[in-house]
Structure 1
């Protein structure tokens, strides 16, 4: 029988005594696999569930070596540091066992303010800035992972930088991350060289989340937009005002708007043409069976099967502009919606703003009011609502995309804009805009299917 949990303990000559103590304490847990991997002599117990892999230098190398051998469905990475208590392992594994998380990090918030913990917390702040993960203590020395998830990320760091790399790459693939409190028996030991290595790695990842397979230029913009929580909440609210119960989202990307739509729905089919993004959607919405990622191009989708799902709403958030033949796509939408069903569309507006960022993310066009009305009403829909949105974004897009020819929106600019988004949303709800960076449309299916 395969073990349910594998505990991996990387060690160095200095930390070998602590690793030995952990191994002896775990030797009687027959359902737990223990793998000690590192460099230098180690006094390990002779037990069927304990493996020792000597002659491996570097924490990153040690973890990669151990991952080739682990058999448990859950892998715990345990620093060889006597400050940590093995009693925390059960709490770390529980959210994974209950399918509420793919990775669980220890949180030492109540464990005192030793210099090492303070340094880790400072690096944790940098980690949160780089990844936008909602973790207080992402570099804790006790972490548990769904083994399949941990093995799916391509780790390249050889030293202690692997701690930061794991967080960055799991976040990049949209795995569900959580944390639980863990106690410390004594202040943990983390050498200055280790902290410096982690910081260098975080700086290297500070502009783009690198998950080793990322060849998608538009991904940089998508992940930055995913971090604009206030702006996304604004868009989500606009869509939810007109949402039915059985929804098809076209072009779900990395699930930024999907996450705002899904609460309370019976069904949400998230169609996406790129497997790169579909894999991330599956990670993000694991455990939510009413959200179904669907890999397909709009032109090649199984529209008869989609029609059988009794959909009442189709949502396109900054997607219609990516489709070469937008009129043909809208006709397909009409074919699967019943009379009265709605299509909700957000598109980039003002063709004069079209620039380098539009090119980078694959836009074919920006829309005028008249152009959007024509593509909707010429293909089986009646426009009920058509409004400008985001007037304040016009100057920034013009400068970044037309004047400076950037390929993505700078992260700092986006964070500042996001802080102000609630004010913009409130102002635009009270005033009818004469123009804006985007157009928001609600259109109702008319008559019979086209």
Structure 2
């Protein structure tokens, strides 16, 4: 993302139902499959503005990883130097099996080789360690939003699950999320293909709804993220997986 997008994100993620809800979902799932202990180490990949990692500091030890200078500039404001990592070549500069948790919230879609990234998660996690990822779902929703955010793809559930093969991973949960707003998002994005947004115009995704609606959307978003019933579609996907013991 460019500097303007980071500034935009930092401004709205404190209150917008999607960003606050996504962080709550991630924390609650980690508590459910863990919970994280004070001595555990979590690496937040693609940490962006660092808000999620900051919230996780009350649960466990935290490190942050990003390869965009604008993100690293924001992270330096919030974390100690030894907590901040950037990619060294094509590897994360940490020893094998050094982490208890890896999180990647809307990150894999930004990477050319998502399979290699997940293999990196496997290398970094201890046996029994947990990876939690969220990604945008459904190529039917592909739009200028994805282009601006430098996405390579949107995912289906089988595509995301295939990145975590059975010999290496125990899938604890994988399901679509953000289901209720799917029809509205589909309509808005089809409309924008016909009538593109004007330069400088605020995208609908950037607008924080009225307080009551913002709270309602967050409550529905969060509650449905814990349904075990396989959902047929959604704007996003959530996967939680545990690294199996065995050769990497």
Tell me which residue corresponds to 2:215: 419
SS at match of 2:238: strand
Is residue 2:10 matched to residue 1:228?
no
Indicate whether 1:445 and 2:243 are aligned. yes
Alpha-carbon distance in structure 1 between the residues aligned to 2:203 and 2:209 = 10
SS in 2 for 1:415: coil
Once the two structures are superposed, the pairs formed by residues 227-266 of structure 1 within 5 Å of their partners are: 227-243=14-30, 244=36, 245-265=40-60
Structure 2 alignment gaps of length 5 or more: 31-35
Following the alignment from structure 2 to structure 1, what is the Cα–Cα distance between the partners of residues 183 and 8?
A: 18
Which aligned pairs between 1:105-254 and structure 2 lie closer than 5 A? 216-219=3-6, 221-243=8-30, 244=36, 245-254=40-49
Unaligned runs of 5+ in 1: 1-213
Q: Secondary structure at the match of 1:387?
A: strand
* 1:41-440 equivalences in 2 (<5 Å): 216-219=3-6, 221-243=8-30, 244=36, 245-265=40-60, 267-283=61-77, 285-286=78-79, 289=80, 292-296=83-87, 299-304=90-95, 307=96, 310-377=98-165, 380-404=168-192, 405-406=196-197, 409-410=203-204, 413-416=207-210, 418-425=214-221, 428=224, 432=229, 433-440=231-238
What is the CA–CA distance in structure 1 between the aligned matches of 2:158 and 2:222, rounded to whole Å? 26
CA distance in 2, matches of 1:369, 1:217: 31
Normalized against structure 1, the TM-score is what? 0.46
Give the Cα separation in 1 of the matches to 2:222 and 2:22.
12
C-alpha deviation, 1:331, in angstroms: 0.8
Separation in 1, partners of 2:4, 2:93: 28
Name the structure, 1 or 2, with higher relative contact order (CA <8 Å, separation 6+).
2
- Distance (whole Å) between structure 2 residues aligned to residue 315 and residue 291 of structure 1: 18
CA distances 1:369-417 after superposition (whole Å, capped 9, x unpaired)? 1001101116822211012211133234334444214497337733346
RMSD: 2.9
**Separation in structure 1 between the aligned mates of residue 174 and residue 159 of structure 2, nearest angstrom:** 12
Aligned counterpart, 1:91: none
How many residue pairs end up in the alignment?
230
User: Radius of gyration: which is bigger?
Assistant: 1
Contact 1:358 1:401 in 2 (8 A): no
In the alignment, the residues of structure 2 paired with residue 408 and residue 341 of structure 1 have an alpha-carbon distance, to the nearest angstrom, of 40
* Distance (whole Å) between structure 2 residues aligned to residue 232 and residue 322 of structure 1: 18
Tell me, yes or no, if the aligned pair for 1:327 and 1:379 is still in contact at 8 Å: no
